[in-house]
Amino acid sequence: MAEQVAEKKGFKMPSSYTVLFIIIAIMALFTWIIPAGQYDKTEDGNLIAGTYQQVDSNPQGFYDVVMAPVYGMLGRDHKLNEGQPNEIGIKTEGAIQVSFFILMVGGFLGVVTETGALDVGIASIVRKYKGREKALIPVLMFLFALGGTTYGMGEETMAFYPLIVPVMLAVGFDTITGVAIVLVGSQIGCLASTVNPFATGVASDAAGISVAEGIGLRLIFFVVMWAISAFYVYNYASKVEKDHSKSYTYATREADLTYFNVEQTNAELSGKQKAVLTVFILTFIIMILSLIPWAKFNIHVFEKINEVIVGIPFIGQVFGQSLPLGEWYFPEITMLFLMMAVLVGITYRMKEEKFIQVFMTGAADLLGVALICALARGIQVIMNDGMITATILNFGENALSGLSAQVFIVLTYIFYLPLSFLIPSSSGLAGATIGILAPLGEFVNVSQSLVITAFQSANGVLNLLSPTSGIVMGALALGRIEITTWWKFVAKLVGIVMGVSILLLILGTFINI
């Protein structure tokens, strides 16, 4: 009885939805305290350093707070305060594309799961890698890191958690191991972005320099950070494998095994199931190929293939005005998962009524994840409408000027940590700040490319744990992991990554590669 009473009185961390809504409310409170401001902008929309000015405040009230998740889903791009543009000219992109993509992934996975191909396929992987399970960890993390460093793999990873997490559970690890492989792998890649168009590309454009500038140091970042994170996750998985009680999610292990339908089976894949798995794997291959910006690497093979197909009489008209692989984004990959779900149903000879049922059930399973993305975007809506980001940027502009190169780059990195919490979008943060902070570095002999590296490394480390990040919150929702539990796991890694990042940035002030 005493234990039951203690349990009732004990603090229980609120759900991800409540945490995000509380943060929205806190941001609204800040709009009453922090002065509103804005910068002048160039014709390209970049902010001009030294032009900050305070404007009439636009404090956010109760109505704005409850509307923030709505605008977080639908987007926000309207005029405020007698015709002034919202905040510093940042358009708040809605999460509707990401959310709808997640729903279609859920429907796709629902259809594939109904065939039993995943269950039997996972069991076969377990048998094949018996005794060598941990070898999968650094390999998979390298592949996800590669996606992060090349094209900013973020929300797209949502499709991989329902595949990776059950495999990691089945081979004796836990849900944290599965989530870490995808989330840490991809976001470490983003942290060490080499040619990521959404971080390095936008930032380099704002600074007026080539993406290639500073790529040598960013390559060093990539190798070092991948090695550190892969060893960290590998070491944790080894402890869990030897003793399941070492898992941070040990209390929910049985429930997780049931939820992810992990069971040992000696069944062999049927011919139809093999065909389904082929379609399943092909879907992810096409998605990855479609999202890498090949043209930026001067690779135009997919553009030429698309031109040939579209140019064929009649067939081109039937095919339609499609985009080549490399130019796809959420609308196109959403279409991909929808059509591949239909193809799986046809391949398995699933009846239409059954197909609709399992597709809708699968989409419903990921509805909560889709809503979390909207809530996370609501934080940016409040900040933009409250016009407080420019004031925060101005504080950084004043604080970082007139310092030595080493102190400047370290403080720039530290400054970007809270800023990345407030603006988790790498492209949004780059567009808002690099035009101001990058030129400041030149006054203390810090290259603009090094400022960009400091920005993206700070932004990347926050995207490993920030509750304002839809990527983090969506991943944890898919893995059924409480954010406080995730923080316990990732805290030491974040500390190591931050320390090594600072050392590499200081190294960058002495060498220019």
What's at 311, amino acid-wise? G
The pLDDT mean for the chain works out to 81
**What 8-state DSSP symbol labels residue 56?**
-
26/103 Cα distance (integer angstroms) = 29
- pLDDT category at 285 given cuts 50, 70, 90 is confident
Find all residues with CB under 8 Å of 301, minimum gap 6, and list them. 294
Give the 3-state DSSP-derived string for 246-264, with helices as H, strands as E and coil as C: HCCCHHHHHHHHHHCCCCC
Above 50 in pLDDT, residue 79? no
Predicted confidence at residue 8, as pLDDT, reads 44
Average pLDDT, stretch 188-195?
87
Q: Following DSSP, what letter does each residue of 428-463 receive, concatenated?
A: HHHHHHHHHHHHHHHTTT--HHHHHHHHHHHHHHHT
Average pLDDT, stretch 93-101?
76
Find all residues with CB under 8 Å of 453, minimum gap 6, and list them. 214, 217, 218, 221, 505, 508
Question: Looking at per-residue confidence, does 432 or 503 come out higher?
Answer: 503
Q: What is the pLDDT of residues 248-260, one digit of tens each?
A: 999 999 999 888 8
Neighbours of 83 (CB within 10 A): 6
Average pLDDT, stretch 327-354?
88
Q: Considering the entire predicted model, what is its pTM?
A: 0.66
Predicted confidence at residue 80, as pLDDT, reads 45
Predicted confidence at residue 263, as pLDDT, reads 59
Average pLDDT, stretch 488-492?
96
C-alpha to C-alpha distances, 25 to 74, 76, 505, nearest whole angstrom: 19, 18, 35
Among residues 143, 150, 146, 149, the alpha carbon closest in space to that of 164 is found at: 143
SS3 state at 85: strand
- pLDDT category at 88 given cuts 50, 70, 90 is very low
Find all residues with CB under 8 Å of 227, minimum gap 6, and list them. none
Measured in Å, how far apart are the chain's first and last C-alpha atoms? 65
For 52, the token pair is 């900050």
C-alpha to C-alpha distances, 399 to 222, 223, 226, 502, nearest whole angstrom: 29, 32, 32, 18
Predicted confidence at residue 11, as pLDDT, reads 56
Question: Looking at per-residue confidence, does 375 or 245 come out higher?
Answer: 245
SS3 state at 80: strand
- pLDDT category at 86 given cuts 50, 70, 90 is very low
Q: What is the pLDDT of residues 173-187, one digit of tens each?
A: 999 999 999 999 999
Predicted confidence at residue 453, as pLDDT, reads 94
461/420 Cα distance (integer angstroms) = 9
Above 80 in pLDDT, residue 375? no
C-alpha to C-alpha distances, 336 to 107, 113, 283, 365, nearest whole angstrom: 12, 18, 7, 19
Range with the poorest average pLDDT among 111-115, 238-242, 349-353, 388-392: 388-392
Predicted confidence at residue 183, as pLDDT, reads 95
210/218 Cα distance (integer angstroms) = 14
Among residues 407, 377, 361, 432, the alpha carbon closest in space to that of 93 is found at: 377
Neighbours of 311 (CB within 10 A): 10
Above 70 in pLDDT, residue 127? no
Above 60 in pLDDT, residue 274? yes
Above 90 in pLDDT, residue 69? no
Please name the residue ranges forming H helices in 152-267: 161-170, 175-191, 202-207, 215-242, 253-259
Give the 3-state DSSP-derived string for 295-309, with helices as H, strands as E and coil as C: HHHCCCHHHHHHHHH
CB-CB contact of 439 with 448 (8 Å): yes
C-alpha to C-alpha distances, 290 to 63, 240, 319, 375, nearest whole angstrom: 40, 36, 17, 28
For 26, the token pair is 């806190």
447/429 Cα distance (integer angstroms) = 19
The sign one gets for the Cα dihedral 468, 77, 198, 164 is positive
Q: What is the pLDDT of residues 15-37, one digit of tens each?
A: 667 777 888 898 899 999 989 88
Predicted confidence at residue 218, as pLDDT, reads 92
E strand or H helix at 37: strand 37-38
Neighbours of 223 (CB within 10 A): 11
CB-CB contact of 464 with 192 (8 Å): no
Query: What are the residue boundaries of the structural domains of the chain, listed by start?
Result: 16-43+379-510, 97-298+327-371
Predicted confidence at residue 489, as pLDDT, reads 97
Question: Looking at per-residue confidence, does 161 or 489 come out higher?
Answer: 489
Range with the poorest average pLDDT among 17-31, 163-177, 268-282, 365-379: 365-379
Q: What percent of the chain has pLDDT over 90?
A: 28
Average pLDDT, stretch 144-163?
78
